[in-house]
Amino acid sequence: MASSLSSCTDQDLLVQLRQDDRQAFIAIYDRHWAGLLQYVIGIVKNLPDAEDILQELFTSIWRRRTELQIEQSLATYLYAAAKYLSIRYVEKNMDRYAKLSSLVTPSFHNETGEQALTLKEIQFQTEQVVSAMPARMRQAFTLSRNSHLSYKEIAKQMNVSEETVKKQIKRALRILRARLGDRVFLLALLTSPQLLYFFSAAVPLPSFQ
């Protein structure tokens, strides 16, 4: 059963998938679906469309299972493929998305309401805070955010325990929240859906009344 494969690495699952192992495919699907769904929703802004895109992605993977050649991590491959399919979908439905984007304002305000923050400014502030973090904390956080690696994969790459990785990322998020303020911190997460998925459990998200 797929549950018995939960301790396998993505690389192990890929090897079994190439051997026509349906349970390995289900394990990959179960492991990555939720995070990918949040990521795609962040692009297409629509749950049914996001589900259709991921259905297309995983159907393609199953059809090509015996010939898949993935040089980077599986997570990196999946997110890159999901991004490509999402952008292609948006391009095919440009008129509808143009109308949607016209309804969305690209600027936000910080907690004092004194300064308007664009998405680029939020991302810049986030990068400034991350760059000032201790080296190992920054490495763990960056591997999770930019490379979409799991705790286990990060631990293996950094030669530390999974618990150490979890603590480093949890501390990184606490630093971000303290430096950016609750409202900007939440917006920073929302501009990076994969971060929101992987780490919302690590640090309680701020609530606004």
Q: What is the pLDDT along the chain (209 residues), one digit of tens a residue?
A: 455 666 788 889 999 999 989 999 998 998 899 889 888 888 887 788 888 999 999 999 999 988 888 888 888 889 989 988 888 887 777 655 544 444 443 444 444 443 445 566 777 788 888 889 999 999 988 887 777 677 788 889 999 998 898 888 888 888 887 887 765 665 555 555 444 444 443 433 333 33
**CA 124 remoteness from chain centre:** 18
My answer on whether 44 and 86 are in the same domain is yes
Q: What angle do CA 70, 71, 76 make, to 5 degrees?
A: 75
Same domain for 57 and 114? no
Overall domain count for the chain: 2
Using DSSP, state whether 105 is helix, strand or coil: coil
Q: Give domain status of residue 101, yes or no.
A: no
Kindly state whether residues 88 and 122 are assigned to the same domain: no
